[in-house]
Copies of this chain bind each other. A is one copy, B any other.
Amino acid sequence: MSSSLTQPAAAPPVAPPTPSQLADRYRAVRNRTLQLAAPLSAEDAMVQSMPEASPAKWHLAHTSWFFDRFVRATRAGAAPVDPDWDHLFNSYYRSVGDAHAQARRGLLSRPSLAQVVDYRRRVDDAVLALLDRGDLDAGTLQRIELGLQHEQQHQELLLTDIKHALWCNPLRPAYDPGLPQRPGVASAMQWIAADEAVVEAGASAWPRAAGFAYDNESPRHRVLVGAHALASRPVSNAEYRAFIDDGGYRTAGLWLSDGWDTVEREGWCRPLYWDEGLDSEFTLAGTRPLDPHAPACHLSLYEADAFARWAGARLPGEFEWERAAAGVAVDGNFVESGLLHPAATGGGAADGHPAQLFGDVWEWTASAYAAYPGFRGMAGALGEYNGKFMSGQQVLRGGSCASPASHLRASYRNFFRPHARWQFSGLRLARDRP
């Protein structure tokens, strides 16, 4: 063990935004959602391909409902912009009322997409008027910030959900056939060693701390991270293909018991969107040749874990990952690149840091999603945001090609069930060191 505390720098103190700055950011984030939905017809925006996914129209509406409910309607005398819709666009906030069943969101032909876009406008007008007036208390300003972070999460889900929806159509239509491609070459994989150390992880609780972080990232706390090594980049398609060719999907001994049951029940034999020939895949631009250099994607935890075992390695713990990412600039292939698909960077380890930590693919970790010691959920209904999902889910780190750059940070914890494959999820290998 290292004799002294190795303390990665926490994010530097940030001043909270002014109302005017917040209004600018509000406009930008809200417009961005509309832009992401722009390629979709009203019919596309209706499709719900599985209970866990939501129609694009619902994402557009629910994110607006969030501001309506938690910003506008918290003010004295304010009713929801449209009380009839209140129940339709609640996701799971039981403390503010019943919610329309998640699995039946795809049945809502009314309100129409045009009505939902108008609903967004009405909510936006109201929120921006509040911001203009300039007399908002700190709590309301914070809920606006939270609403924008929430909206950014849904921007990514809008993309992953519509990708699944379009893939379910035998015509395999593209979200946008003209998406650019960026061929690259995967660098040679290297191991980046780290000694045992006690480090600080997580984020200080917002809004006490100025920099935004979700409640599930706090409190910042000390953890002991053992000696280990991390791969310099995520696993590539070519590497994952070798696992398939070696019979990975037919070898029970490589899999977690739950994973093997899923393989057998679902007939899994390749990543979600790969074609049977293993040489092309469905993307938001339609079916395209598989790039062997790009990070492998649309894997479940079970597949990531089996691959790692096959490779004689393991998945990283979330604090191994966070320690490596602390102090690293949040650069990478995010939604802003416009690729909407993972790509090889060619970059290798720099300054002893693993590369490609942010963007391209969310990286499954070996850590179950659980509360940090001292965790406190947000007050009131917003306390339902994160904490109640701390069961049966696994942490992913780093963000993807569908994440907004400004939404990510080293302490960010994403979480999904182990069988989920429709996110841009891949893996980076880790291994123990003596």
Contacts and interface: CB of A to CB of B under 8 A. Distances in A.
A165 interface: yes
Contact of A253 (B47, B94, B108, B374): B94
B391 A256 contact: yes
How many chain A residues sit at the interface, stated as a range, is 35 or more
A314 interface: yes
Given A224-B222, A388-B257, A112 B41 contact: yes
Q: Report whether over half of chain A's contact residues are helix, strand or loop; otherwise say mixed.
A: mixed
Interface in A388-422: 388-392, 418
A95 B92 CA distance: 43
Contacts of A367: 370
A76 interface: no
A130 interface: no
B391 A259 contact: yes
A207 to B, nearest CB: 20
Contact of A1 (B49, B222, B259, B384): B222
Contacts of A222: 1, 196, 224, 226
A170 B106 contact: no
B198 A109 contact: no
A52 to B, nearest CB: 13
B388 A165 contact: no
Nearest to A165: B107
Nearest to A368: B368
10 contacts: A41-B42, A47-B106, A85-B171, A95-B252, A109-B166, A109-B173, A226-B374, A257-B388, A258-B392, A366-B370
Interface of A: 1, 5, 41-44, 46-47, 49, 84-85, 87-88, 92, 94-95, 100, 104, 106-113, 165-166, 168-171, 173, 196, 198, 221-224, 226, 228, 252-253, 255-260, 301-302, 305, 314, 317, 366-368, 370-371, 373-374, 383-384, 388-392, 418, 432
Pairs of residues from A and B, 9 with the lowest C-beta to C-beta distance, nearest first: A368-B368, A43-B109, A224-B224, A44-B109, A257-B388, A256-B391, A226-B373, A374-B432, A94-B252
